Structure 1
């Protein structure tokens, strides 16, 4: 616990951040996040949004792991938190199960003396590993050398991918768009987050495009949405009202969805229409936002006792696959936009 606290103290100081942070220990990820949501922050500076990485490999994991992931979302909503889930095209850090302690230490600015201590420990471990691989004559087998070479190559590619993803939101972006798909009124968090991001010098060259479904006449809806965004002082380049949201998805897209683990469950009458709606949303995202630098879309809520964790992850998968970085956002229904300046 003390070591983790020290590492985070060093990181906050080196990054010149002003923040309150808490470190907790628990027997599971869900319990740890529950504790953090309850203790993090101070007074009015308590956080109101939980941000997670998308579980890219959910189809390869046990159902209990997927259940825990979705239960974390339920816990956040129960505690009146907003939720954001970020999906990168190659997964966060490549979704590789490799130790990240060394990268964390470098980022945190650990002193040279501490780094030397870590390096000596790692060198000792490496020596023990090599000795265990020595043949009867004290030499390494050719197979082990080849495996080591291949592993080094994979580690190098992984390191490059990690650095690229970690700097994606801090490096200066070329001209492009941030596409906001504001599908439900969740208090305005879906619009506020990309607006704040666009104020950063790194993202100042990216224009915000607002996509919203049509519920009445197209011209009336567009005028009303434009007026509302201007009252809230949200900078945007265009408002695109979509009347195709209510259309049925193509048979090809439905067939692709049925191949997912939640495909069979989607045949239930109480979830069939929602499933079609999410499949259709995925089609429209790939039609309009394939070239966006970032997509922000209102996140569907997993209803307890109605939508299983497998079906819910299948919905998120069909919405977000084959797309640029996408951020699912769902506010806690408390307004975060004001008319006051």
Structure 2
């Protein structure tokens, strides 16, 4: 966290703008407005870091930094567009830092000021050669650079305190803008200073634990550098008149008690930032090229040497930086970088907003301080500031992104990774069903689309109610009923049952759809419902039904679930010890209110492996997500026969909870007694118990029934689960 994220972020943030342009910002904007500029910039980067942290802790972060995170969320179209833009922004940043170094060099050695472009080009070449040969050594020297930076700041603070003047402070409180300048131009000049929040994320492929290091290191860097900039704004306004702050780019050096420390700090900060950008930009291009969004760029995806250095991409970065050195100065480059980074930050916030607002079950970040509202605020803030700073550049940048998005979409490039496109389409199903039909499926986008064989609803109200809890806000629920008989003879009866189901859904305020079919046999009705219900990607993937109440019905039940399993649907069978007898004409709903009451206790998942365990864990998580169930913790339990095996199994359960990002209480029971006795004792006070089972072969229905009844014992609420797959806990 400290070496891989905090230090490079801090070195990049406290760089060329702080040493060479922040005095001008304070001189023109005044102390009060300068403080507002810092706070506004820090607010945007803080909101963006919250979004960055959420996505970084929701997926395994590989190389490519913000490009990787955005592309894996918003999809290949935005990923391709942002890949080009973000790489370009980082490459231009190299030129900005080198120009800043050269300005400081020219002020320190006036005799060389006539050779500005030559010096900047030489520094660019040296930076390129250092990174091309091998970037590993630059990471090791960053602590020395940080020490130089701290020494430079200490020298400035000491000098500013010694030169403190109340008169200067009074005159510098208000703004003193030059012709053509305003608050927003000063914001555009300053904002590139805070764009260093991506320095750690850009090296994500080299971090040992990026999901932990990126949030902590980046937020700490933002906090520390905010204190530095706010205190510096006050001290600059107290130490020199506005005219000197505006005209003298090296005013910080003149204020310091040891000017050489500032010179060393400028050299160290600008060169380290240039090296950091020269290292980060090629890695973004390399990751982008390896995704093969544009085949013509695959040349830059090739790595060199044991450390897989992106040398081809480094050559291109050098060329772009050199062109910027020849064409522009620091004041011209800064607004361009502002736009590019604003778009990157805006899309990163937008990606997190979509992840959260679509309620994708796979969106389970371990970072808990991001909300869809903060992501939306960050995205809108970036967009607003872009237009306020320079509406022409903002419009041009947005059109550029839109054009790239349209171009990639028109080529129908398919991503090879899971993203939330299917989740967004799910929420906008009215207009997007056809597109959802052709979307490449990925376990990340699995949602519970449950068909509940609920009778009329009133008769077995526990089934639709639990179906609602398992799908509310995350999936879809269909309440299904099979009317026995021929459709020609029972069409009116079928319509009546559908009306009863609609009334039940409306009265109980369920998020569900009714489905009624007429068939001579129950098995034919189930088959018809499963095959014909839904449309496109919204077809049922799970069937919820009641567990038979007595052994005489076990054979028919086994035949029905075999039919469901053959159609590759997951099976959920609910066993409740107390519910009313089924009367097809009953509709009073006298037991409905009882089933809406949340039972006390834990949600117990008895783990026997991934075959059914993945679905059981996800169902427990979805149940726990309901507001009424949040006080019911999830326990994942397993039985071992001896004490020696307990530690290894417990470790496995802990790792399972961490990798799935589901908060669980792991519990291992050591016992040689029959499993039914262990389960009955350990889960006696559970709110609901999830047990896995396998669909029986023909002729073994009664054997399954007896075995599961023995395991369930007198437990009041059991959910038996037979998974057909299609989901992954690590997604």
TM-score category of the 2 structures, normalised to the smaller one: 0.5 to 0.7
Please state whether the residue corresponding to 1:11 is helix, strand or coil: helix
1:315 equivalent to 2:707? Answer yes
Please state whether the residue corresponding to 2:729 is helix, strand or coil: coil
Is 1:177–1:206's contact at 8 Å kept on the other side of the alignment?
yes
Is 1:211–1:239's contact at 8 Å kept on the other side of the alignment?
yes
Please state whether the residue corresponding to 1:211 is helix, strand or coil: strand
Compute the displacement of 1:20 (Å): 4.2
Compute the displacement of 1:213 (Å): 4.4
Please state whether the residue corresponding to 2:516 is helix, strand or coil: coil
Please state whether the residue corresponding to 1:24 is helix, strand or coil: strand
1:45 equivalent to 2:542? Answer no
1:179 equivalent to 2:604? Answer yes
Superposed CA offset, 1:272-299 (max 9, x none): xxxxxxxx22111112111111111112
Question: Partner of 2:623 in structure 1?
Answer: 197
Bigger proportion of residues as helix: 2
Bigger drift between 209-218 and 43-52 goes to 209-218
Is 1:86–1:327's contact at 8 Å kept on the other side of the alignment?
yes
1:228 equivalent to 2:713? Answer no
Superposed CA offset, 1:103-142 (max 9, x none): 2xxx6xxxxxxxxxxxxxxxxxxxxxxxxxxxxxxxxxxx
Compute the displacement of 1:97 (Å): 4.6
Is 1:87–1:326's contact at 8 Å kept on the other side of the alignment?
yes
The structure, 1 or 2, with the larger RCO (C-alpha pairs under 8 Å, 6+ apart) is 1
Please give the root-mean-square deviation of Cα atoms over the aligned residues, in Å: 2.5
Compute the displacement of 1:70 (Å): 0.6
Question: Partner of 1:289 in structure 2?
Answer: 683
| Number of positions where the alignment pairs a residue of Structure 1 with one of Structure 2 | 235
Q: 1:173 to 1:18 in 2, by over 3 A?
A: closer
Higher Cα Rg, which structure: 2
1:68 equivalent to 2:556? Answer yes
Please state whether the residue corresponding to 1:55 is helix, strand or coil: coil
Gaps of 5+ in 1: 108-158, 250-279
Superposed CA offset, 1:136-181 (max 9, x none): xxxxxxxxxxxxxxxxxxxxxxx5xx346xx33x32444x211111
Is 2:606–2:691's contact at 8 Å kept on the other side of the alignment?
yes
- Within a 5 Å distance, the mapping from 1:1-341 to structure 2 comes to 1-58=494-551, 61=552, 65-90=553-578, 92-93=579-580, 96-103=581-588, 159=590, 162-163=591-592, 167-168=594-595, 170-174=596-600, 176-186=601-611, 188-214=614-640, 217-236=645-664, 238-244=665-671, 247=672, 249=673, 280-302=674-696, 304-305=697-698, 308-339=700-731
Question: Partner of 1:255 in structure 2?
Answer: none
In structure 2, how many angstroms separate the alpha carbons of the residues matched to 1:287 and 1:12? 37
In structure 1, how many angstroms separate the alpha carbons of the residues matched to 2:628 and 2:573? 21
Is 2:565–2:695's contact at 8 Å kept on the other side of the alignment?
no
In structure 2, how many angstroms separate the alpha carbons of the residues matched to 1:242 and 1:23? 45
Compute the displacement of 1:323 (Å): 1.3
In structure 1, how many angstroms separate the alpha carbons of the residues matched to 2:539 and 2:683? 34
Q: 1:183 to 1:163 in 2, by over 3 A?
A: same
Superposed CA offset, 1:22-44 (max 9, x none): 22111122221111111122221
In structure 2, how many angstroms separate the alpha carbons of the residues matched to 1:18 and 1:287? 36
Is 1:198–1:206's contact at 8 Å kept on the other side of the alignment?
yes
Please state whether the residue corresponding to 2:650 is helix, strand or coil: helix
When normalised by structure 1's length, the TM-score is 0.62
Please state whether the residue corresponding to 2:633 is helix, strand or coil: strand
Q: 1:100 to 1:292 in 2, by over 3 A?
A: farther
In structure 2, how many angstroms separate the alpha carbons of the residues matched to 1:97 and 1:163? 13
Is 1:292–1:324's contact at 8 Å kept on the other side of the alignment?
no
In structure 1, how many angstroms separate the alpha carbons of the residues matched to 2:645 and 2:544? 36
Q: 1:323 to 1:172 in 2, by over 3 A?
A: closer
Is 1:178–1:294's contact at 8 Å kept on the other side of the alignment?
yes
Q: 1:205 to 1:7 in 2, by over 3 A?
A: same
